[in-house]
Amino acid sequence: MAEQTGTAQRPVLVVDFGAQYAQLIARRVREAGVYSEVVPHTISAAEMAEKQPVGIVLSGGPSSVYAEGAPELDTAIFDMGVPMLGICYGFQVMARALGGTVGNTGDREYGATEATVTGDGGAILGGQPAEQSVWMSHGDAVQQAPEGFDVLASTSVTPVAAFGSPAKKLYGVQWHPEVKNSEYGQNVIENFLRNVAGLSADWNAGNVIAEQIERIREQVGNARVISAMSGGVDSAVSTALVHAAISDQLTAVFVDHGLLRKGEREQVERDYVASTGVRLITVDAADTFLGHLEGVSDPETKRKIIGREFIRTFEKVQLDLVEEARASGEEVKFLVQGTLYPDVVESGGGSGTANIKSHHNVGGLPDDLDFELIEPLRLLFKDEVREIGRELGIPEEIVGRQPFPGPGLGIRIVGEITRERLDILREADAIARAELTAAGLDQTIWQCPVVLLADVRSVGVQGDGRTYGHPIVLRPVSSEDAMTADWTRVPYDVLARISNKITNQVPEVNRVVLDVTSKPPGTIEWE
Ligand code: XMP
């Protein structure tokens, strides 16, 4: 399968020293309106030069610069004349490479720390309050700045908490400006981009759309294209973007596997189509999927069946479309995928090697399909994808959607999946979603699985009679990337409303319980 890469913009390169911070820094740079890419610390100065960076940011990392095997950087990179900002570990790497000293004084700083700006703060801290709260996480510290560098900030235990050289355009901070807990963090990043690197804010959704449309047209020519829609944000936006480029050369396929949430099919068939004009085929495959799932309780087996049936269904449609195209002398050559930048980086794609994890949001497409891929979102973060979706006129209910697993409600019923159980869960889920939205919590909550414990029953009382119903679990979580998560502290009165409504309106449910486990040790989904 071919891949599609690149943008005309020259990037700010964020060097990844192996912690999870690099992606967050790359996002913050883009939030400041400047295009950025993540590269591994093993990149050579020559490879870096090929990418023609307009700025370089060295990220934080988990190691001590002195530790054996600590990640290093080709020191020739410091001589490239590209403006550079070192952060935390990256700050220490920079200090050491340029002749400063880094040591372990035994004083560690973790969490919120008071920093004092020295003098006028230079190009990166200028104009900020002299005393500010910053987020620290380090054992080692820069003890002496390299020659020719001004010390720009200090803390009670770290004499050199920030430094810079206007002549060399090299700057660094010991703290993490990319995390929100650093009061003026985003301002540090913006100051670096504007004052040191001289970059203006010209990376935005409109530019991305225009550039991608041109690129897609070039790639596709007159061929026909298929896109699998899952109802999720990524496939909705990638499909709309490709449609904006090649209009009815594209056919979108939406598989209703019977495991969708209430109103989801209508949203795609009616609202999405109305707003984008995409030619959509819905395949009604609920009977097939549910037939194969009969009697199956094991979560892994459920996933396998759903994945397999998805492929079968999709292949059938694909054959029809290929024949239809042939009849009119055309060819179906391309498949749209909603791969995002974090998938590309995490699978090594950020290293410039083409090792792409196929992240199939819809439950797994066959790897041997004879298609070239169109991946118009592969350089984008989720929030950028949403922004582009809005620009393309996709309804907010779809663009603002929280993540929802490809296997759908199938993995939110603990026990066998039946039509009746799906109906129960669909009602409970719709009530919980509506109440959370009404309470204005959609931005606070990353996602809120609503789970039916179909194999559990307990005694309750309703009216004059005893009931023997199922529990529903609410699993609201807050997260940045779904890798880790914490349970969201939803206000009690909102929880009370959800519980009342579910137990009143869904007769088979007589208890609503709240999951108060973080991830790890829990996962987000129950299954
Ligand atoms: P867990 O439960 O592993 O989930 O903490 C992490 C994130 O992944 C989503 N998820 C899936 N997404 N297909 C998907 O497209 C799947 O099979 C799948 N399983 C879990 C989950 O909703 C959460 O956002």
pLDDT tens, position by position, 110-144 = 999 999 999 999 999 999 999 999 999 998 999 99
The answer to whether the CB of 86 is under 6 A from ligand 1 is no
Active site annotation includes 147: no
* 156 C-alpha to ligand 1 centroid (Å): 44
Q: Which of 88, 109, 138, 470 is catalytic?
A: 88
- Distances in whole angstroms, Cα of residue 410 to Cα of each of 75, 339, 401, 445, 527: 52, 23, 19, 22, 8
Closest C-alpha residue for ligand 1 atom 12? 405
Architecture of domain 418-514: 2-Layer Sandwich (3.30)
Paired tokens of 519: 């991830």
Residue 448 falls in the annotated catalytic set = no
Query: What is the whole-number distance in angstroms between the Cα of residue 59 and the centre of ligand 1?
Result: 28
- 485 CA closest ligand 1 atom index: 5
What is the pLDDT, as a whole number, of residue 342?
Answer: 86
Q: So what's the pLDDT on residue 483?
A: 85
The response to whether residue 382 sits with its C-beta less than 6 Å from ligand 1 reads: no
Closest ligand 1 atom, residue 361 Cα: 15
* Ligand 1 pocket residue status of 434, Cβ below 6 Å: no
Check if 340 has its Cβ closer than 6 Å to any atom of ligand 1: no
Q: Give the pLDDT confidence score for residue 344 in this predicted structure.
A: 87
Fold of 205-399: Rossmann fold (3.40.50)
Q: Is the CB of 524 under 6 A from ligand 1?
A: yes
Label residue 441 exposed, middle or buried (CB < 10 Å: 0-12, 13-18, 19+). middle
- 12-196 matches 205-399 in fold: yes
Q: Closest Cα to atom 19, ligand 1: which residue? A: 405
What pLDDT is recorded for position 166? Answer: 97
DSSP symbols for 328-387: TT--EEEEE----HHHHHHTTGGGTS-------TTS---TT---EEE-TTTT--HHHHHH
pLDDT on residue 91? 97
CA of 408 to the centre of ligand 1 (A): 10
Is any ligand 1 atom within 6 A of the Cβ of residue 523? yes
In this predicted structure, what is the pLDDT of residue 346?
77
CATH of segment(s) 12-196: 3.40.50.880
Residue nearest to atom 6 of ligand 1 (CA): 482
| Residue the block writes with tokens 């690099």 | 22
Of ligand 1's listed atoms, the one at least distance from the Cα of 523 is 5
Taking the CA of residue 525 as reference, the ligand 1 atom at the shortest distance is 2
**Contact between 328 and 446 (Cβ < 8 Å):** no
Ligand 1 atom 14: residue of nearest CA: 405
* pLDDT for the residue 189: 98
Q: Which of 176, 257, 360, 470 is catalytic?
A: 176
- Rounded to two decimals, what is the model's pTM? 0.85
Contact, 399 vs 389, CB < 8 A?
A: yes
Which residues of the chain register pLDDT less than 50?
Answer: 1-5, 350-363
- Every domain of the chain and the residues it spans: 12-196, 205-399, 418-514
Judge whether 88 counts as a catalytic residue. Answer: yes
Ligand 1 atom 10 nearest Cα: 405
Catalytic residue among 31, 37, 109, 178: 178
Distance, in Å, from the CA atom of 227 to the CA atom of 376, rounded to the nearest integer, reads 12
Residue 450 beta carbon below 6 angstroms from any ligand 1 atom: no
